[in-house]
Amino acid sequence: MRQSFTASATGRNPRRQARGVRTRDAILRKAVDIASARGLEGLTVGTLAKSLGMSKSGLFGHFGSKEELQLATVDAARQIFIDLVIKPALTAPKGMPRLWRLVDLWIAHVENHVFSGGCFFTAASFEFDSRRGPVRDRIASVMREWMGTLTRAVHGAQKEGHISTTVDPAGLAQELQSYALGAHWATQLLEDRAAYAGARVLALQRLRSFATSNSPRVG
């Protein structure tokens, strides 16, 4: 039976396990960064190993296949997105402020160059949108999770009485997501320096146009 270094490290030696996990985490942090710029196919075992000063096979042992490396990279990127966007947004008050925070932090984490290639999931989405298989399915699943979070935030703003109940939550979520995607595209490809600011203004205008008189002012 195949045994990766990490898998065998789940045994009795906690110090060795800790080191294995730390190495794996370091590999994946680098992997997300490379994949954000070069794509999940452009992320090769050889270049990843060299950039970490490891041997190819030493790195390979943590994953067992290229596909498993890609899946682990998607999971690592998801965790970073949760830590940098979702969790901080949950500290904002329920309703309109929290919804706006989600959009604002989505844009901010790309703007602040958390990864050298911009947004990992935007790149991965368009790279795998015509493929089949577990990697595409994992990316789509994380993005459905994200759209669900955005949609629930719209619904939450309605429950707080901040947004008109005539608004379709999934529709507004898709609209907000489109502004962020469009701004990412215009910034990264066209080098339009006003695109993120423009997307924020547009999103705020739209949110305010749906706001009730009860809603706190955001932005």
Q: Which is nearer to a copy of itself, 198 or 219 (CB)?
A: 198
The contacts of residue 20 (CB under 8 Å, 6+ apart) are 5, 6, 9, 62
- Partner that binds at residue 76, options DNA, a copy of itself, none, CB closer than 5 to 8 Å by kind: none
The reply to whether 149 sits near a copy of itself by the rule CB under 8 A is no
- Which residues does 75 contact at the CB level (< 8 Å), separation at least 6? 138
φ, ψ of residue 210 to 5 degrees: the values are: -100, -5
Q: Which of 175, 210, 212, 219 binds a copy of itself (CB under 8 A)?
A: 175
Under the binding rule (CB under 8 A), the answer on residue 185 touching a copy of itself is yes
Binding status of residue 127 toward a copy of itself by CB under 8 A: yes
Residues 26-45 that bind DNA (CB under 7 A): 43-45
Query: Angle at the Cα of 142 (from 139 to 148), degrees rounded to 5?
Result: 140
SS3 content of the chain, % helix, strand, coil (to 5): 70, 0, 25
Question: Whole-angstrom Cα distance, residue 122 to residue 36?
Answer: 8
Q: Of 6 and 177, which CB lies nearer to a copy of itself in the complex structure?
A: 177
Binding segment (CB under 8 A) for a copy of itself, from list 57-65, 66-74, 94-102, 121-129:
121-129
Strand partners, 211: 163
- Binding residue (CB under 8 A) for a copy of itself from 139, 150, 153, 218: 139
State the Rg of the chain over Cα: 20
Closer residue to DNA (CB): 105 or 124: 124
Here's the x/- map for a copy of itself, 100-119, by CB under 8 A: it reads as: ----------------xxx-
208 binds DNA (CB under 7 A): no
